[in-house]
Amino acid sequence: MFSSLYPKIFISIVVGLEKISIYCEIFSKNKLKKNFLKVFETSYLDNQVEAYIQECIKESPIYYIAMLDNSTMQGAFNSCDDATIRDMCDINKITYKCYDTWAYYTSKYDLELHQNEYKNIGLDLIYSPFVILANFFVDKIDLGIAMYALVEETFLTLVIFKNSKLLYSEHINMEYQKNKSPLNTKTQDDSQNLLEGIDLDSINLDSADSSFSNLVEIEEITFDDNGSLDEFDSLDDSTTHLDIQKVEEVLDHNYERFLFIQKALNSFYKDDSLESDFIETIYIADALEIDSNFRNYIKDELFLNVIIRSIDLPKEIAKLAKVEIDAI
């Protein structure tokens, strides 16, 4: 009865590699009164973050805290049938929820870990990145077959939909995968399809027998008189002041993502159990403001149409939380 007297507060938490984004929206009589975002240079809930959240929720007792699930052990099933899911994995170790004809899941242990970590302030909602991705591209999912990717700081969520039906899904923790050295996997068979990946070690630019001699000559990277790199004309003047190491990291991560997408496509095409039609388009929900190199990698190497939409993850989560709470 007294709830309508108080404003509603929605807080979304997105945990990155070395930062936590806390986004707060305050609604009064269903109208947005104010919203603000703060980023903390930490990856766990320390006193500072907790104090900030407590400060946000001080205004009203009606508050909801939502979080993006950053578990490594999460994914999606192409079916919502309980029996089918039981066949795929140990149902006692996961928590899954249905979304139309498919389901998304996460580790029960990780869920409890999240709730335990935030028990002082109370966690109300935990969302899967698959849900974020599906809702973000809800207008595109039923338009034929396409790949959808959510690019976060250390995660890459990939889904292939065909007319709203989920065909393939993968959730990649890039740091975890990097530690497992997936990028160093070498192919033994040189006659494998180019889509399987390029063996970097086998490339010999100086060799006359190299297949590159038949391709368009790769231009030598040169420096102009100002000391800037001609080829990287997408980098604006501000990046010239960046630490070269950071630039290298960004380029490295983009390439890593490209390789994961490439690997996912390979798996999709190779899997006989899936209805693997040819994919022409990839829709990317970009939470990082990735540069054009990533687009170019995909466009040039995978021959996909690339459509990138910027996504404000904390805002999306808060929006989802509000819709869910209003529906309850």
Partner 1 sequence: MLYSYIKPTKKSAITKDFQLLALFFGISFTMVFGFYIFLVYMQSSLSSKKEEYIKESVALTKNIQNTKENIAIAKKQLALSQQMQTKNIILKDSIKNLFDLVPDTITLTQAKIESNALILYGSTPSKDIYNFMLQAPLRSIFHKTYTSFYPTQNGWYNFVSTNYLLEDELDE
**Site residues (CB under 8 A) for partner 1?**
1-3, 5-6, 61-64, 66, 69, 95, 97, 99, 106, 111, 115, 122-128, 131, 135, 320-321, 324-325, 327-328
- Measured from the CB atom, is 253 or 322 closer to partner 1? 322
Question: What b-and-e string marks burial along 117-137, b requiring 16 or more CB atoms within 10 Å of the CB?
Answer: ebeebebbbbbbbbbbbbebb
Shortest gap between Cβ of 132 and partner 1 (angstroms)?
9
Tally Cβ neighbours within 10 Å of residue 243: 8
In degrees and rounded to multiples of 5, residue 189 shows phi and psi of -95, 115
- Measured from the CB atom, is 98 or 247 closer to partner 1? 98
Shortest gap between Cβ of 32 and partner 1 (angstroms)?
19
Q: Where are the alpha helices (DSSP H) in the chain?
A: 47-57, 82-88, 108-117, 129-136, 174-179, 244-270, 292-297, 313-327
Residues in the chain: 328
Q: What 3-state class would DSSP assign to 137?
A: coil
- Measured from the CB atom, is 1 or 221 closer to partner 1? 1
Shortest gap between Cβ of 64 and partner 1 (angstroms)?
6
Tokens 């399809």 found at: 193
**Would strands 63-68 and 8-15 be described as parallel, antiparallel, or unpaired?**
parallel
- Measured from the CB atom, is 89 or 111 closer to partner 1? 111
- Measured from the CB atom, is 96 or 268 closer to partner 1? 96
Shortest gap between Cβ of 66 and partner 1 (angstroms)?
7
- 212 closest CA partner among 204, 201, 223, 221: 204
- Measured from the CB atom, is 63 or 297 closer to partner 1? 63
Shortest gap between Cβ of 174 and partner 1 (angstroms)?
23
Shortest gap between Cβ of 139 and partner 1 (angstroms)?
17
- Measured CA angle at 143 (ends 319, 130), to 5 deg: 40
